[in-house]
Structure 1
Amino acid sequence: MTLQETGTGTGHARWTFRLRVSATTEAQLMSEWGKCRWIWNEAVAKSRAVHQRNKATGEKNTCGPARLDKMLTEARTRNAWLRDGSSVPQQQIIRDFGKSREVRLIHPAHTTMDCAHCGARAKHALPLGMRTYTCTACGVSSPRDKNSARVMLVRAGLNPADVEGVRHGCA
């Protein structure tokens, strides 16, 4: 457990857990993930079809959450294997799709070794016990996980804000 002071005499604790599951549970989780992935792909296909139809006809139809919810209900009615899964993560996939349609895939290798500030790569992997990343090239120091997350955002082509919401290079 890590305890951080907030400056008011109180603090908050951060707990870290590692979940270890049996082979049976892992198979069930992978089955649920497969169902969610299928729903995401169906939402992508439905969205593309609406976009193509709009492009061809000049209409302004949308593929919003209501239409996607209807698609999920119909799919669960038609497919027993989908109906056997939990509806909660399936509905969450529809909500997530409605909020963010752009997915950027990046290669996760070396995200804990690269500096998010200057892009330099450390010569050796940071041991798991070492929680602070310090760049040997530019000297910037930040928490290991936040540096890694920022590296992934930069690789995805985004200009991420840091924890305080300040974009680097902005006044």
Structure 2
Amino acid sequence: MAEWARCRWIWNECVAMSRKVHAANRNAADKVTCGPAQLDRMLTGARNAMGWLREGASVPQQQTVRDFATSRAKALKDIKAGLPMRQRAGMPRIKRRRDALLSLNYTRRGFRLKDGRLHVAGGIVLTVVWPRELPSAPSSVRVYQDSLGHWYASFVVITETRPLPGTGRVLGVDWGVRETATTTSDTYDLPHAQHGKNAAQRLARYQRMTARRKPARGQAASQGYRQARAQAAKLHKKVARQRQDTARKWAKSVVTDHDAIAVEDFRPKFLARTTMARKAADAAIGATKTALIEMGRKHGRDVRLVHPAHTTMDCASCGARTRHALPLSERTYTCTACTAVSPRDKNSARVMLVRAGLTPAGAEGTRPPGALLPEAA
């Protein structure tokens, strides 16, 4: 805790220095910079002047300065590029003791592993519960605390590909809200697990408890308020872990049984502004897609991302495209060129295979590669 207090103080000093430089450069002819060199000099001067800082290890303090410089550089780059406000990375802000979660970064010279324990700079020894052995020597480690008060150590290591035996099979994946993933094979369809919906009543109860016990401005929070917040945070964490577990198990089965996978490069962010926002968030499409890509990379499978434009309008059998987009209420796709009829999502999953070039010649419900794209009538 004392080590984190020092690093938090250094971060806040960097924020104050950045704001001071920004104010000084508004009307000045000679601009002053606030880069890594200036921040390093600030840290050196602070350690020379304050014995409290010298009592702590220099490695996490230097890493705090580097992290701040990286964050500030990214924010300035987005401003210079003229990105919209909603897409910009914000400037680093003050970390308040009651709000900021603890996080310490150590580079290679700041930690070592001995007898299953983590020794970090400053004479701190941590007992780690290892879920598995590290595949290689770590280059850095981040020790942090989550909202529930649990501590974690995250290591940066070089991973190795673990190839699986070939199967000669391919799969197309289309994302949706009614079913999280619809594939070209019924066996690997992923239904909506509804983890968030199942926990909604308990979560609403804890949130009402939190609202009733919220302290007035300037007053300390009561023990009941802190307990209600902890219960809500615990339930949020449980739902997130359930979604992640479901996604990883499904991704493992898909990757194990298929050599190549055509995946819709779907970005569900826009669904947050629609009436399907709650159900789309509970489907965890982004987390499931990430789990599938990571699992495929881990086992050396060929995962191809397909642009989602017009995938619901094209026919997987003949390649014809409808003149108008189908409404969401219409769940059956009927081709006006070849009169093929199939479920809308199944047709989109087959289109993924066709666009990725993975369709075997003569496969049922799809057209052979190289076939011409006729126009719909």
> TM-score scaled to structure 1, two decimals?
0.51
| 1:122 aligns with one of 191, 196, 215 | 196
**Partner residue, 1:78:** 49
Of 12, 26, 32, 1:41 maps to 12
Q: Structure 2: which 5+ residue stretches go unaligned?
A: 73-90, 96-145, 148-175, 178-193, 200-234, 251-276, 292-302, 311-377
What displacement does 1:127 show? 7.8
Residues 136/76 of structure 1: CA separation in 2 closer, same or farther (3 Å cut)? closer
Aligned residues: 114
2:246 to 112, 117, 132: 132
Note the C-alpha offset of 1:61: 1.7
How does 1:143-154 map onto structure 2 within 5 Å?
143=287
TM-score by length of 2: 0.25
Separation of aligned partners in 2, 1:34 and 1:41: 11
Alignment deviations for residues 111-170 of structure 1 (CA, whole Å, 9 cap, x no partner): xxxxxx98x9922152846612699934564647x69xxxxxxxxxxxxxxxx9x7x978
Question: Contact 2:15–2:92 at 8 Å: present in 1 too?
Answer: no
Amino acid aligned to 2:246: T
When structure 1 is superposed on structure 2, of 54-63 and 130-139 the one drifting more is 130-139
Match of residue 2 from structure 2:
31
Structure 2 CA distance for partners of 1:97 and 1:169, relative to 1, 3 Å: farther
Provide the C-alpha distance between the structure 1 equivalents of 2:308 and 2:60, rounded to a whole number of angstroms: 39
Q: 1:169 to 1:88 in 2, by over 3 A?
A: farther
**What percent identity do the matched residue pairs reach?**
43
Q: Secondary structure at the match of 2:279?
A: coil
- 1:57 Cα deviation (Å)? 1.5
Provide the rounded CA distance (Å) in 1 between the counterparts of 2:69 and 2:39: 9
- Asked if the contact 1:132–1:143 (Cα under 8 Å) also holds between the matched residues in 2, the reply is no
Alignment of 1:69 with 2:40, yes or no, is yes
Provide, for residues 74-116 of structure 1, a one-character-per-residue CA deviation record: whole Å limited to 9, x for no partner.
00000000000010000001111111023489xx99xxxxxxx
Q: Which structure 1 segments of 5+ residues have no match?
A: 1-29, 110-116, 148-163
RMSD, aligned CA? 4.3
CA contact (8 A) 2:14 2:65 kept: yes
User: Runs of at least 4 residues of structure 1 off by over 2 A?
Assistant: 101-105, 120-123, 125-130, 132-144, 168-171
Equivalent position of 2:120 in the other structure: none
AA in 2 matched with 1:97: F
Larger radius of gyration: 2
